[in-house]
Amino acid sequence: MSSVKTLNANAEVMNRAAALFMNINAAKGLMDVMRSNYGPKGTIKMLVSGAGDIKLTKDGNVLLREMQIQNPTAVMIARAAVAQDDITGDGTTSIVLLIGELMKQAERFLSEGTHPRVLVEGFETARKATLEFLETFKQPLPTPPAAADADGTAPPAVDRETLRCVARTSLRTKLAEPLADQLTDIVTDSVLMVRRPNQPIDLFMVEIMHMRHKLDSDTRLVRGLVLDHGSRHPDMPKRLENCYILSCNISLEYEKSEVNSGFFYSSADQREKLVAAERAYTDERVHKIIELKKKICTEENGKSFVLINQKGIDPISLDALAKEGVIALRRAKKRNMERIQLACGGFCVNSVEELAEEALGHADEVYEHVLGEEKYTFVEGVKNPHSCTILIKGPSDHVIAQIKDAVRDGLRAVKNGIDDGGVIPGAGAFEVAAAHHLRTVTRKSLAGRAKLGLDAFAEALLGLAKALAENSGHDAQETIIKLQEEHERGNVVGLDVVTGEPMDPVTVGVYDNYIVKRQMLQSAPVLAGQLLLVDEVMRAGINMRKQ
Amino acid sequence: MPKEIVTLSFGSYASFVSAHYWNLQDEAAGYSGREGWSEYADCVDYDTLFSSSEGRNGAMTYRPRAAWFDLAGSSGGASHRAEAAAAAAAAAAAGGGVAAVPTWTGGVDVHRAAPVARSAFAATLEQHEALDWDTLDEAEAARQQAVLEEAARLLDPAAAAAAARRRTGGAGTSSAAAAGARHWTDFCKVLVSPRMVVSLPGSWSGPSEHSLAAGWGAAAGGLLGGGGGGGLQMVEEGVDVVRLLAEACDSLAGFQILVDDQTGFGGYAAAVLSEVVEDFPGRPRVLFSLRQPGAWAGAADVAGPGLPVSTAQMTARARDELSEALALCRMSELASLYIPLAAPAVQLSSALPYMSSYNPALPFHTSALLAAAVDSAMLPTRLTGRRTPLGESVGVSDLHSLIQLLRPAAAGLAALHLCLPCPSLPADLQQLQRQLDTRIRPPHDSTAVTAAAAAAVAAEAAMHPRGGGNRGTAAAASQPRLVRGESVYGSTAQLTGLEQLASLTPGISGRDDTALRGGGASRAESYCLRGARTDAGPASTASALEALDSLLRRRAHRMCVRHRCATPMPLALPLPFPDLFSPVVSLHGDIMLSCDDGGGGRGSGTKVTDAAAGGAGNGLPGSVSTRAAAGAASASAASAALTAVPVGPGGRAAGQGVASVGVLTRLQATSEFMGWVRGVQARWTRGAGAAAGRAVLDAWDVGRDDATEVSDRLHELVGKFAADDDGNHY
């Protein structure tokens, strides 16, 4: 009888066996839900809402969010998966599987009377050993010969081919092959485009835009920007070529209505004058812009002028600009202002005094695209694109959403590849090799019961490879044996999901992110250990959830 | 001139209010195409709230400039996706074993939530969209309309249950029908752009039972990036939706925001609004803080002294108290005007004497009431100066000026008071004569009443030479004349004083007598009187304003800035508006005092008013107690009528709803808020000091520094009032 009971009669208490049972079951249950998603041959989940809306996902994180988990153990595991997603952008299914496998293996030993503490010690040793092994298993990105004209302004060259492989590996687990292969180049190129020397890669500079239009295979990379709004004046040109781009944060509307509130004027005449004066102030700014346009856009150079404003532009100002043949967009997204500078050059102007030719960017063409009630403006053909847009097209919202999720993960994978400076051969190769390493090398350096935990850990790692084989329709045990045999011959082997035979992931080009594996190995065993060491579950005192 | 107003609603209850609000807008806009009504409907500028765009085939579509932020699942069976039909087909195909996913070659697991049925109303409305009304013959059109009306009646849980009982003889009611409207989409009849509905992650089971219901900080983990994973993304998405709405405005006047700010939506809304404040400087934001009807009792202790209180109760109370303070602090900083709103919690209270079917337990009812109040209170900002046969709208204002008027008076806090339906205004002879002018025959004039008035005028004319009315002419003031108006023509309930305004802001009564007790005094007020009526029918705006002014002159406390607005367009009630009114309310919002049917005698009703008016005439002018008695008398008459007569004396058949009503609202910035803020402060200090409260704050990511900040801010708010009191003794 727990002493909590004497203090609070309403407290719920679970003893050690029940607590362990609950934890193990929750972990296994969560694993069972996610297991079939794992790998390029896993099933996709289609979630149909009460209203008939569809959500397609293979992303463990999305699934966890949609499932609205209540079980406290499952919530803990889901948090670990969310952290995994935050840090690496991928591997959420893997981490849930690894925790589940660890708990499953532990259950076997526990049922034979092993104390959880012993297992946890073994897990800890195994975790350290595996992380060390991961370092040796990592393959550095091949460094291509530096370009002849490298002058330090361009970021150091990286091996595009390896990064393509990383992107493809990630995308193929989320999308059908032809589409994944098409997106591979898009994703790789866009990350390489936004890279700048001596600065971390900012993936926000890759805009992901979507249009419900045509087919998913029409998805493309726009070297420039796509804005989700158009001009608000019927007479404005719909298309301009060879454009100066002015990005600014200047209000071009007559906004203050203080003059209406009555304290500032005594007659209607005076009021009119005040209104006119206010108006003149706005007009003045518009004229400054038009002056600049007239000065630099001449008949000879054939240039045209595009204004993208973060603030508003009212109809009178729009009218004045339209008369000059300027495309003017108002209320651009804050982040797009940053993107415009990176894509087109120039800088964002905050007051009319700063207006000058140096502030302007350039684009080969700017045009409007109307889709139903929505307008899009394309800014294409920019000089030095350090920002770009992935324009996703698809026949329906759920397909677009699915592609969007996959593209996000793909972008993260390429970024991780560059940041890590190395990759891990995929297709289960690491798991098989690590398990083998633990059993042959690490086990020898270990004495006593900790070996049990080590064995459980090695078996759990193999569980990931087994899930891969199972999902691809092969016999898990047989495949694993084949892989292990091949590995013992000293090769790095992964699973060919099509044939079920061992293959070399390096020649096929299946690479995983180093950081994904590392994060998974760091957090999964720790959490599994914590769950195993729970010997009492209490629910007392404040219940935060309003029931 | 800035004009467009963007409406944002954060929260599930807010969605309800917003849906009702947009139904009211849609109905009013629809009146502009109706015969006889168009002149009146045109005094409201619909472009302020609706954006229009031309579709591919040249047809204009009108979309509300509004966004809904609510939990996933709250929109029920309505899909906001444009290709819902295609999606449903794909889902069905996948369910049948066919892989219908073009983007995946492997297997597909289908997880299907139990389908949520749409309401009959929403379904019928969609069918009607497809109908070609021009080709239908009259009988068919009428039949279709009847179907829609029946479906609309099912939305009201009370009415639906009654209807089901009637039909089945009390047994075997289908639960779906009796449940009434569960989701805001069940009764929202405006077309909402799918992009403008933002679904936040969470679970939802009712407008006040959802995963964010547990106080201000309930969103701290999932939505605001505390727990990581897509949190800030939701805020960014919210800001982007606001930007898109603003982009469509030529000259944005400001925002009106409905928030359940005592729940987790408050935290989310604050995150979005702080970005909005930065992006749109100088654009006023009117924020309506929505509370549950029970919030009236919030100040009182739940359990009496000495009774044991469970931990759960303690926590719940701490949560409510802390939410209130946090919401007040954060939101009053972000909003230009902060208006706490809660529907009255008592049925048939003296506050709402003509709302017999009002049920405070139904969000469908309470939200409708709040929507009507918000709509009318903000009406002055949306009016055009257009002339109508009843005169042009008086007191047209704009959002900026309205806020400039109210904001400085009470630290940006304001209360909202409502009179729905607004009883008849006292009318003078001249006015009645004018009403009889056949050239002015407004569409909401009921001929029966006009005839009665004609008779009354004749009677008055006959009386006049005999000196009966001398007192009125001698006094030459409005007051005795009003009294006489009542006594002679009182076939309808009269607006006898501004005490008849019901307070929708918990804790702010707005009554004069509290001023006498030192509770507070009104500092700035904005009245809006729409569709005012007299005994004889719709009143002209000039005379409505005059009558309102004479009532205002009777107020004990006069030192305050006032803005009055009168407009001839009444509140047009859409089909899905619940029929809250008692049977004494006529089709166009007259409150008939007579218990007999239509045209006959005005027997008992007249007697009641005679007595009351006599009292008022004999006693001190403007005596509160007599007027209260009159109110009580008419209320009792109303309830008597209610119980006795199945077909109301208002001349409405049992099933027929009220089409339009006059409404009087008052936005009031009053020093009563000082006491109110003090109350919040006291509860915050008590809550944040206790262990339970501290635990709640920790769970909400509100650190000790933040807590100190809240205390300081509350102190500052109270200080503002105190300083004003010292400085401005008028």
- B367-378: per-residue pLDDT in tens? 888 898 899 888
The pLDDT of residue B616: 35
Do B583 and B645 touch, CB atoms closer than 8 A?
yes
Determine the number of helices (DSSP H) and then strands (DSSP E) in chain B.
23, 20
- Write the secondary structure of B240-297 as one string of H (helix), E (strand) and C (coil): HHHHHHHHCCCCEEEEEEEECCCCHHHHHHHHHHHHHHHHCCCCCEEEEEECCHHHHH
Q: Are B624 and B513 in contact (CB under 8 A)?
A: yes
Residue B504: both structure tokens together: 């929708």
A114 falls within a domain: yes
User: What distance in Å separates the CA atoms of residue A45 and residue A61, rounded to the nearest whole number?
Assistant: 12
* Cα of B186 vs its chain's centroid, Å: 18
The reply to whether A275 and A360 lie within a common domain is: yes
**End position of a domain, from candidates A380, A410, A439:** A380
**A232 and A285 fall within a common domain:** yes
Q: How far apart are the first and last CA of chain B?
A: 35
When CB atoms are compared, the residue of A44, A53, A258 closest to B106 is A44
- Give B724's pLDDT tier (boundaries 50, 70, 90): low
Residues A239 and A300 in one domain: yes
Q: How confident is the model over A170-201, as pLDDT tens digits?
A: 888 888 888 888 888 888 888 888 887 777 87
Residue B489 is classified by DSSP as H
* A268 within domain boundaries: yes
Predicted pLDDT of residue B558:
59
> What local confidence, expressed as pLDDT, does residue B598 receive?
37
- CATH of residue A434's domain is 1.10.560.10
Question: Chain A neighbours among B 52-71 (CB < 8 Å)?
Answer: 53, 55-56, 61
Nearest to A53 among B87, B193, B405 (CB): B87
B-chain residues near A334 (CB < 8 A): 279
Beta carbons within 8 Å of B76's beta carbon, 6+ residues apart: A50, A51, B116, B118, B182, B183, B185, B186
Q: Measure in Å the smallest separation between the Cα of A274 and chain B Cα atoms.
A: 13
DSSP-derived 3-state class of residue B300: coil
State the Cα–Cα distance between residues A127 and A133, nearest whole angstrom.
10
**How many residues would you count in chain A?**
547
Q: Do A106 and A203 have their domain in common?
A: no
- Report the mean per-residue pLDDT for chain A: 80
Residue A290 lies in a domain: yes
Cβ–Cβ pairs < 8 A, chains A and B: 184
Higher pLDDT: A261 or B602? It is: A261
CA–CA separation, A147 vs B415, rounded Å?
A: 70
Which tokens in the block code for residue A394?
A: 């698809």
Cβ–Cβ under 8 Å, residues A23 and A531:
yes
Same-domain pairing of A23 and A167: no
Distance from the Cα of residue B409 to its chain's centroid: 23
pLDDT grade for B288, boundaries at 50, 70 and 90 = very high
What is the share, in percent, of chain B residues with pLDDT greater than 70?
A: 65
Give A-chain residues touching B114 at CB under 8 angstroms: 50
Residues of A recognised as catalytic: 59, 92-93, 409
Maximum average pLDDT range among B299-308, B484-493, B697-706:
B697-706
Residues A332 and A405 in one domain: no
Q: A220 pLDDT exceeds 70?
A: yes
Average pLDDT, chain B: 70
Same domain, A119 and A261: no
In a shared domain, residues A113 and A249: no
> Domain check: are A527 and A394 in the same one?
no
Query: How close does chain B come to A82, measured CA to CA in Å?
Result: 6
Mean pLDDT of B122-149: 75
**Chain segment B407-465, per-residue pLDDT in tens:** 877 788 888 888 888 877 776 656 656 655 555 556 666 544 444 444 444 444 444 44
Last residue of a domain, one of A420, A444, A470: A420
Least reliable range by pLDDT among B31-35, B430-434, B626-630:
B626-630
Does residue A253 sit within a domain? yes
Q: Which of A155-164, B371-380, B395-404, B459-468 has the lowest mean pLDDT?
A: B459-468
Pick from A443, A467, A469, A468: nearest CA to A456: A443
Clarify whether residues A195 and A230 are in a common domain.
no
Instruction: Inform me whether the C-beta atom of residue B101 falls under 8 Å from chain A C-beta atoms.
Output: yes
Q: How many domains does chain A have?
A: 3
| Amino acid occupying residue A119 | L
List phi, psi (to 5°) of A93.
-65, -45
Looking at the complex, does the CB of residue B83 fall below 8 Å from at least one CB of chain A?
yes
A181: containing domain = 149-223+385-420
Residues 6+ apart with CB under 8 A from A283: A316, A317, A320
> Following DSSP, what letter does each residue of B465-481 receive, concatenated?
GGTTTHHHHHH-SHHHH
Tokens of B641: 């009528």
Q: What is the ipTM of this complex?
A: 0.82
B78, B115 Cβ separation under 8 angstroms: no
A400: domain CATH number is: 3.30.260.10
In whole angstroms, give the CA distance from residue B266 to residue B278: 18
- Beta partners for A422? A140
* Closest Cβ opposite residue A44 in set B81, B101, B692: B101
Shared domain for A241 and A362, answered yes or no, is: yes
Pick from B598, B635, B652: nearest CA to B494: B635
Indicate if the pLDDT at residue B316 is higher than 80: no
**Would the pLDDT of B618 be above 70?**
no
Q: Please give the single-letter amino acid code of residue B701.
A: D
Alpha-carbon distances of B662 from A62, B409, B438, B483, rounded to whole Å: 51, 28, 22, 21
CA of residue A384 relative to chain centroid, distance: 24
Listed by number, the residues of chain B in 664-703 with a beta carbon closer than 8 Å to a beta carbon of chain A are 692, 695-696, 699
CB pair distance less than 8 Å for B108 and A257: no
Contact B228 A83 (CB under 8 A): yes
The C-alpha atoms of residue B567 and residue B388 are separated, in whole angstroms, by: 10
> What's the pLDDT score for residue A153?
56
Question: Is the distance from CB of B259 to CB of B288 less than 8 angstroms?
Answer: yes
Residues comprising chain B, all counted? 730
User: Across the interface, do B83 and A212 touch by the CB < 8 Å criterion?
Assistant: yes
Q: Are A505 and A454 in contact (CB under 8 A)?
A: no
User: What mean pLDDT comes out for the span B185-207?
Assistant: 80
CB of B185 closer than 8 Å to CB of B15: no
**How large is the angle between the packed helices A160-172 and A397-420, nearest 10 degrees?**
140
Tell me whether residue A189 is in a domain: yes
Q: Work out whether strand B415-419 and strand B502-503 pair parallel, antiparallel, or are unpaired.
A: antiparallel
Highest mean pLDDT among A117-131, B98-112, B140-154: A117-131
User: Using 50, 70 and 90 to split pLDDT, how confident is the model at B195?
Assistant: confident
Which has the closest alpha carbon to A139: A435, A417, A521, A462?
A417
Cα distances (Å, whole numbers) of residue B454 to A241, A405, B334, B652? 74, 73, 54, 22
Task: Report CB contact under 8 Å: B75, A253.
Answer: no
Contacts of A231 (CB under 8 A, 6+ apart): A318, A327, A328, A329, A368, A377
Relative to beta strand B197-200, strand B66-71 is parallel
A539 strand-pairing partners: A12
Cα-based distances in Å from A181 to A91, A386, A410, B516: 20, 24, 11, 79
Q: Are the C-beta atoms of residues B635 and B609 closer than 8 Å to each other?
A: no
For position A373, what pLDDT does the model report? 74
Say how many CA atoms lie within 13 Å of B623 toward its Cβ.
Answer: 14
> How far, CA to CA in Å, does B27 sit from each of A472, B443, B573, B576?
58, 15, 7, 10
Partner residue opposite B113 with nearest CB, options A48, A260, A403: A48
Contact between chains at A232 and B250 (C-beta distance less than 8 A): yes
> CA geometry: angle at B528 spanning B522 and B532, to 5°?
130
The residue-averaged pLDDT of B17-45 equals: 82
Alpha-carbon gap: B130 to the closest alpha carbon of chain A (Å): 19
Check whether residue A216 and residue A229 sit in a common domain: no
The span from the CA of A395 to the CA of A418, in Å, is 33
Query: What confidence score (pLDDT) does residue A156 get?
Result: 67
> Can you give the pLDDT at residue B586?
77
Cβ atoms < 10 Å from Cβ of A274:
15
DSSP letters spanning B132-183: -TTTS-HHHHHHHHHHHHHHHHHHSHHHHHHHHHHHHTTS---HHHHH---S
Over range A3-31, report the average pLDDT: 74
- Helices A476-488 and A429-440: crossing angle in degrees, nearest 10, is 70
| Closest-approach residue (CA) in chain B for A75 | B227
Half-sphere exposure of A302 (CA within 13 A, CB side): 5
Q: Which one of A380, A411, A438 terminates a domain?
A: A380
Q: What is the pLDDT of residue B363?
A: 83
Asked if the bond preceding B421 is cis, omega within 30° of 0, the reply is yes
Please choose, from the candidates A424, A405, A429, the residue with its C-alpha nearest in 3D space to the C-alpha of residue A166.
Answer: A424
Sign of CA dihedral A416, A419, A425, A429: negative
- Domain annotation covers residue A544: no
User: How far away is chain A from the Cα of B587, in angstroms, using its nearest Cα?
Assistant: 37
| Integer angstrom CA distances of residue B614 from B116, B472, B483, B497 | 59, 14, 8, 16
**What sections of B11-99 are H helices per DSSP?**
12-31, 38-41, 84-95
Indicate yes or no: CB of B251 within 8 angstroms of CB of A397: no
| Residue A546 falls inside a structural domain | no
The yes-or-no verdict on residue A107 having pLDDT over 70 is yes
The per-residue pLDDT for B299 is: 42
Rounded to 5 degrees, φ, ψ at A120 are -65, -40
Mean pLDDT, residues A308-317 taken together: 86
